[in-house]
Structure 1
Amino acid sequence: MKKFLMIIVFVPIFNFTLLAQQNKYLVFEFIKVESSEMYDFIAYKDFMEKVYQSAISDKRISGWDFWVIQSGAEPGEFQYITVTYYDDPVKMMDGIANEDLVKYGRIGFPHMNENQIKEMIKKSQSAFDLTQRTYMKQIANSNDDFKYKNGVLASFDLMKAVENNFQEYETAEKEVFLPIHQNKIEKGLMGSWVLLRTALPFGSEAKSTHLTMNLYKDYVQFFNAQEYEDMESTAEEKAKIESGLKSRDQKWVYLARLEGAVR
């Protein structure tokens, strides 16, 4: 099965900082798997967990997540999202070449020889279609100690900021919406929040420019958060929220469950 790849490109990087943090660069890959290929793909997922663990030990990447879509995607669009974490934009753009996958595979599976590893990689990569890849930089996040473990939920919200007005949108996220999310976290209604901006230039036809990750420890916390209403907001705060909402278009929302993470 041949893979189709569409790279989404976005906006230049501004000099915004928030909550003293290390730079984080994330690659999102949206994956479609035919039912007939499901067994080989699950084998690929298990294989890659060990490969990426070796890549982390080699400081090539800083983490990898495997998410299963719960809602938001059109039938047949894609069923999985993987997120690979880097601490450097050059490492992110270089990715991991097949020869390095073989090297890390030999470390993770010492009982297999090089040809067996190559065959495993070839067979696994033919089991899915890579429908979309997005390169992002983290530009803001909540203050929390959220732990990534199997079963946690994430709402991936793809946004498109108003053209030529990205600063207004990002300021709204940081100064208006982040405090709201932080308040939810402190009330136990949310686990974590992250704002990302594309790490590459983009054209006016780009489908989205930013992405937020809203993280929850389980479905109970997720649904409680949906029911929460801040009754203490002032008229001025509500006006800022309304203005912030107008600074971007919420293009898609995907709810996903974490089924694998290595750090």
Structure 2
Amino acid sequence: MKRSILMLLLLTLLSGAIWAQETRYLVFEFFKVESSEMYDFIEHKDFMEKVYQSAINDKKISGWDFWSLQSGADSGEFQYITITYYDNPVSMMNGLNEEDLVKYAMIAYPHLNAKAVKDKFSLANRAFDLKQRSYMQQIANSKDSFKMKRGILASFDLMKATEGRFQEYERAEREVFLPIHQSRIEKGLMGSWVLLRTALPFGSEAKSTHLTMNMYKDYVQFFNAQEYEDMESTADQRAKIEQGLKSRDQKWVYLATLEGTVR
């Protein structure tokens, strides 16, 4: 009896560990860059790729992406999105402070001392304006072998769950929309799909509560997906889709190209 209880406890802990490994925490940052500062900003992005790689090697973060916006926002709002990946919510909220960045920059660029790094950061900060930061938790995803590499496309769909229908919306994403995306992935019409929930408390006036990332290997796959119509769906499936759409408001869709990534 004791052995059975111990085995049950062990399995519970193991399943919890597996779930923890599958759960990721992401920080989205939206940047506006003036045209006159574009060259300096891109140069800073190239510099930061090695800095974030040092942070990954030290297990401070688990990844970093740099996306350029193709459509979905006024160019005066923002043109770039970065995503920093963390393994747990505490690390996400602590983030990378200036001391961390200076340390990892000096590791990535041994010829620079602390003062030179700080001066470089100070100069770079003048080239961009951080317009928004969002803390997100991954709560569902497709089963795929999609590889993150330069040139892939993604649509970032910002959703707001209808008041009082929060759980209904998430259930619709998992039970109705995820199987549709999985089917498209298996047909070669899509690369990957991820559902994210805002990780911080929010009120009824929040602009969005969820975000989906729909990824494509290139424009050919993206446009083929837009043209695709599933003729095999049943009336019951179509009714569930319609019901699911009523549980949320699609606030905005941003189409972006991956310009840099480190893992």
Q: State whether TM-score is above 0.5.
A: yes
Equivalent residue, structure 2, for 1:7: none
CA apart distance, 1:165:
1.5
CA apart distance, 1:178:
0.2
Give the Cα–Cα distance (whole angstroms) in 2 for the partners of residues 234 and 23 of structure 1: 33
User: Are the equivalent residues in 2 in contact too, given 1:160–1:249 (CA < 8 A)?
Assistant: yes
After the TM superposition, list the runs of 4 or more consecutive aligned residues in structure 1 that deviate by more than 3 angstroms: none
2:143 is the counterpart of 1:153: no
User: Are the equivalent residues in 2 in contact too, given 1:158–1:211 (CA < 8 A)?
Assistant: yes
Give the Cα–Cα distance (whole angstroms) in 2 for the partners of residues 150 and 140 of structure 1: 24
Root mean square deviation of aligned Cα = 1.2
Equivalent residue, structure 2, for 1:201: 201
Equivalent residue, structure 2, for 1:78: 78
SS in 1 for 2:203: coil
Give the Cα–Cα distance (whole angstroms) in 2 for the partners of residues 163 and 72 of structure 1: 25
SS in 1 for 2:252: strand
Amino acid at match of 1:96: L
Amino acid at match of 2:195: L
Say which structure is richer in helix: 2
- TM-score, normalised to structure 2, is 0.92
Equivalent residue, structure 2, for 1:3: none
Equivalent residue, structure 2, for 1:188: 188
Equivalent residue, structure 1, for 2:129: 129
CA apart distance, 1:75:
2.9
Q: What is the correspondence of 1:3-42 to structure 2 with a 5 Å cutoff?
A: 22-42=22-42
Amino acid at match of 2:258: L
Equivalent residue, structure 2, for 1:216: 216
User: Are the equivalent residues in 2 in contact too, given 1:40–1:123 (CA < 8 A)?
Assistant: no
Deviations 1:173-208 (A, max 9, x none): 000000000000000000000000000100111000
CA apart distance, 1:37:
1.2
Instruction: Choose 33-42 or 76-85, whichever is displaced more.
Output: 33-42
Give the Cα–Cα distance (whole angstroms) in 2 for the partners of residues 183 and 220 of structure 1: 18
User: Are the equivalent residues in 2 in contact too, given 1:139–1:196 (CA < 8 A)?
Assistant: yes
CA apart distance, 1:156:
0.1
CA apart distance, 1:164:
2.1
Instruction: Choose 111-120 or 222-231, whichever is displaced more.
Output: 111-120
2:239 is the counterpart of 1:239: yes
Give the Cα–Cα distance (whole angstroms) in 1 for the partners of residues 96 and 211 of structure 2: 24
Equivalent residue, structure 2, for 1:163: 163
Give the Cα–Cα distance (whole angstroms) in 2 for the partners of residues 127 and 56 of structure 1: 25
2:60 is the counterpart of 1:68: no
Q: What is the correspondence of 1:82-97 to structure 2 with a 5 Å cutoff?
A: 82-97=82-97
Amino acid at match of 2:210: H
SS in 2 for 1:233: coil
Equivalent residue, structure 2, for 1:50: 50
- TM-score, normalised to structure 1, is 0.92
Give the Cα–Cα distance (whole angstroms) in 2 for the partners of residues 161 and 67 of structure 1: 26
**Identical-pair percentage:** 75
User: Are the equivalent residues in 2 in contact too, given 1:44–1:125 (CA < 8 A)?
Assistant: no
